[in-house]
């Protein structure tokens, strides 16, 4: 599965990604427009799952949000 399959390539869409803070708590990271000019990468940050798993989770989160509302 590609990011575009999960709708991440569509400008103006919003995705909610699960985000763990050192296994102490979990939050939803809201991701929207790809054209963000004041964003910089976090030094040393790493993705700990495969791209396919991440895209699948984004798709599942979108379905859940659509079914339950914001």
Q: What is the 3-state secondary structure (H, E, C) of 1-64?
A: CCHHHHCCCCCCCCEEEEEEECCCEEEEEEECCCCCCCCCCCCCCCCCCCHHHHHHHHHHHHHH
pLDDT in the model for residue 25: 64
Give the Å distances, CA to CA, from 67 to 38, 61, 70: 32, 10, 9
With 0-12 / 13-18 / 19 or more C-beta atoms within 10 angstroms meaning exposed / middle / buried, residue 56 is: middle
Question: What pLDDT, in 10s, does the model give residues 13-57?
Answer: 677 777 766 666 667 777 766 565 666 777 887 777 777 888 888
pLDDT in the model for residue 39: 65
pLDDT in the model for residue 1: 39
- Give pTM, 2 decimals: 0.35
């Amino acid at each position: 599965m590609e990011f575009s399959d999960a709708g991440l390539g569509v400008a103006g869409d919003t995705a909610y990604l699960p985000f763990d803070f050192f296994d102490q708590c979990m939050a939803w990271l809201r991701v929207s427009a790809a054209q963000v000019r004041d964003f910089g990468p976090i030094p040393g940050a790493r993705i700990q799952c495969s791209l396919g798993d991440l895209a699948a989770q984004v798709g599942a989160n979108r379905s859940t949000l659509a079914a339950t509302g914001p």
